[in-house]
Structure 1
């Protein structure tokens, strides 16, 4: 009679199935950042929420997600990534049920905060588990390719599914759709993923956790308020100043902490520094792009929610197609060249899209750019993720994974705030010169599309440039001092 296999043996045998489970959870996290966008008008009408409150339905998710990612990554390193992954998925599913049942704005916003905090636990844990399950370079490249492609597809699918679900089943369905996937992941994870060994139970860097979380939350809140209340409003200035003070304090604390939340020696690796800079710019470009594209289709072209969602299918298809060939491209061209090329392809698609008129035909003006954007976006997410975790020790896998997600989320918040301000300014200028509203809106969105392309081009230049000055020297870090306190790096 055959002996039952241990969890570790199953993990080796079923690791590709485990990857599907991890990718599904990662998909939910990225999806939820965008799926609500198209449902907002319907949601606001039923819950009697004004425009400013509606914007906080998005912000209430992004703030805890971006602010707690580094802490979530470090908790995974300390207590075990599988444990944190399952806890995060469980919290995410429960909060999704609560959001779908929301009968008031306060109820909904509280649920969104819990969703964001849960996502901050599961996202870095999922990426860290992938790096532990796949140790052979070629297999790891394929696995990270899948995870990177899922991140890109999730951004697109949010617009697609948001339109389909809202039209067919109402706004609560954009939250309830998370529940069956979450239950499936929670059920399968203990069987497919072996319990990993937690790191040493050293003291947790709570001063670092408080300052970085407070700093990131203050920064994202300041950027969100800047668009609504103006860059010189007292709240915007106060939150911006608090962000600078708290993030500066965080860097100082991390230089001398015995068990730092984010070992600054991580940034002495050019791959970590370059990969996170790229993910920061990718996040800004894609978030601004999809915000403008969704509003352009509904306000200018007068697409309903379903049609606006279905128009994203070609872009999603291009993403899936490029994900299948990315391992071969990474092997042939190298990570940096593939990432730079992908960013330039993405930029060419957004610039092409900027020529779309106020009476655009999808087949003539939008289909081609969508496919090009999908190819560039898919390649950039896969290569950026691969580069940012290259050479990171297992003991720092969680915090490195949290850093990638943090870079993408904060980049998205900053990119959206900047590009939305540029769009509004351009639209007002065109209106003041007598341009009709559809043309003025189209002109404003065109600048967003061009701006997204500019961010991608900057990313490509940074990737190709030889980083001669390490971040450690810019921050005044003594490599000998930090090297004694951080093991497994360099």
Structure 2
């Protein structure tokens, strides 16, 4: 997503902003849209065990309910930002909201797994248009001063707290209404948002070069899709199979071609200097690993709480809240640390702490106590993730030119979603393989013990992925506290 560069030859006045008079109403609308997008990542995770039973989805395929959304969202987020800027932010916002509602209706009425997965992919496609359009409206409505800081504080709080809302709402709807309402609930929300957006928000768009990088968009979608499908084929056919290797090779070749296209394009989807900077690269890697651990790894915690410990959907959602609370607390600590010692310290400590939390979760067993075996790991994991999230997002804007600031911020959000998609696919393969291996060596084991063997392997691999971030940060990051953006970055999707 691009951000319009203000004309600095004259002072900015409120007359330059068509939404200035209704800016606080606009903030409420944007916050509602952001909440919808964020909570949809977790609300379905809580409902997934029930949806799996109803629709007859296999253990190897159920991850697509999460992967399809994250992959489509992450792969198309940069393009969605360009469309919002060039086509019109209000128009893109409304189309994105309509499409999101339609996809939610299809998912809520799904009669089989394939329909649910297709609907989730549709949600991701329209979320990739809706989320950057909402952010662009906010960016152009609040342009400077204390009001801008307050507006982005609200936006960031929604981004962080939306996951918790999704956990509780998903648990409540699944237990007391029906799991389908975890998707159908988006319809009345969308209708309300459209009804208030039409008369309140005024249209705005970027000017100048408004060409789209279609080849780049196609290549990055093929590349990421190839990697995800390759990881899922490994679960069915093995890592050395022709199917697995073919998809992974196609994905890598498409991503290599994407780099070549972006180098030669006069209007690239992603200016390559953004990800290749020595400071930003660790932030992007950190964001991807956090996405893998948060979206992919914790999905199996939901299964453990509901399937093995027998918690109801609502109770399991509440039991996951300490993770969100710990992330929120650590994010505040990280923000303070950045102003005192710079981003390197929290970005180095955070992955180690988060990995330790996941290692603590490997202690779970069939008869484990939530308080003794799960809660400590959740809190430590959340503290570590919070320490990484804030500096990773802020460091993404270090040294970025004004007209690419939106693309840089969108890239961090995209890498988190992509990390979640790739991580979920990879962890599914690990989970199925670990179950098969454990069952083979322990033929008389209780079925729940087989499940736990799969979960603990996932947590261990997620910890290993997070630990990789630490040496990368130590080797590459040179940014200091003075280099951090004065107003901070926006919240993550």
Compared with structure 1, are the counterparts of its residues 161 and 193 closer, same or farther at alpha carbon in structure 2 (3 Å cutoff)?
Answer: same
How far the C-alpha of 1:277 sits from its partner, in A, is: 1.4
Q: For 1:373-388, list aligned pairs within 5 A.
A: 373-388=381-396
1:478 maps to none
- In 1, the alpha carbon distance for the partners of 2:473 and 2:434 equals 30
1:264 maps to 272
Q: Output one character per residue of 1:37-56: Cα deviation in whole Å (capped at 9) or x when no partner.
A: 33234334444555566444
- In 1, the alpha carbon distance for the partners of 2:198 and 2:386 equals 30
Q: TM-score, structure 1 length as denominator?
A: 0.82
1:291 maps to 299
- In 2, the alpha carbon distance for the partners of 1:10 and 1:319 equals 36
- In 1, the alpha carbon distance for the partners of 2:163 and 2:406 equals 23
The answer to whether residue 76 in structure 2 is matched with residue 40 in structure 1 is no
Compared with structure 1, are the counterparts of its residues 315 and 62 closer, same or farther at alpha carbon in structure 2 (3 Å cutoff)?
Answer: closer
Compared with structure 1, are the counterparts of its residues 346 and 156 closer, same or farther at alpha carbon in structure 2 (3 Å cutoff)?
Answer: farther
Is 43-52 or 342-351 further displaced after alignment?
43-52
Is the CA contact 2:69–2:121 (under 8 Å) kept in the aligned structure 1?
yes
- In 1, the alpha carbon distance for the partners of 2:131 and 2:119 equals 18
Is the CA contact 1:424–1:444 (under 8 Å) kept in the aligned structure 2?
yes
What secondary structure, in the 3-state scheme, does the structure 1 residue paired with 2:42 have? Answer: coil
Is 70-79 or 134-143 further displaced after alignment?
134-143
Is the CA contact 1:296–1:445 (under 8 Å) kept in the aligned structure 2?
yes
Compared with structure 1, are the counterparts of its residues 425 and 51 closer, same or farther at alpha carbon in structure 2 (3 Å cutoff)?
Answer: closer
How far the C-alpha of 1:268 sits from its partner, in A, is: 4.5
Q: 1:356 aligns with which of 357, 361, 364?
A: 364
Q: 1:450 aligns with which of 442, 453, 460?
A: 460
What secondary structure, in the 3-state scheme, does the structure 1 residue paired with 2:302 have? Answer: helix
Compared with structure 1, are the counterparts of its residues 401 and 183 closer, same or farther at alpha carbon in structure 2 (3 Å cutoff)?
Answer: farther
Q: Output one character per residue of 1:351-398: Cα deviation in whole Å (capped at 9) or x when no partner.
A: 222223331112222223222323333343333222223443443244
Q: Output one character per residue of 1:256-295: Cα deviation in whole Å (capped at 9) or x when no partner.
A: 1121121112235444323211111111121232122112
Q: Output one character per residue of 1:307-334: Cα deviation in whole Å (capped at 9) or x when no partner.
A: 2222112223333444555543432333
Q: 1:79 aligns with which of 63, 72, 87?
A: 87
Compared with structure 1, are the counterparts of its residues 83 and 375 closer, same or farther at alpha carbon in structure 2 (3 Å cutoff)?
Answer: farther
How far the C-alpha of 1:62 sits from its partner, in A, is: 3.3
- In 2, the alpha carbon distance for the partners of 1:432 and 1:359 equals 22
Is 215-224 or 6-15 further displaced after alignment?
6-15
- In 2, the alpha carbon distance for the partners of 1:269 and 1:43 equals 43
Aligned length, in residue pairs: 464
What secondary structure, in the 3-state scheme, does the structure 2 residue paired with 1:162 have? Answer: helix
What secondary structure, in the 3-state scheme, does the structure 2 residue paired with 1:219 have? Answer: helix
Q: Output one character per residue of 1:380-431: Cα deviation in whole Å (capped at 9) or x when no partner.
A: 3333222223443443244323322321122122222333433444444443
2:10 maps to none
Q: TM-score, structure 2 length as denominator?
A: 0.81
Q: For 1:19-168, list aligned pairs within 5 A.
A: 19-49=27-57, 54-103=62-111, 105=113, 107-129=115-137, 132=140, 147=155, 150-168=158-176
Is 182-191 or 447-456 further displaced after alignment?
182-191
1:488 maps to none
Can you give the 5+ residue segments of structure 1 that lack an aligned partner in the other structure? 469-490
1:477 maps to none
- In 1, the alpha carbon distance for the partners of 2:167 and 2:376 equals 18
Is the CA contact 1:125–1:398 (under 8 Å) kept in the aligned structure 2?
no
- In 1, the alpha carbon distance for the partners of 2:399 and 2:146 equals 14
The answer to whether residue 244 in structure 2 is matched with residue 244 in structure 1 is no
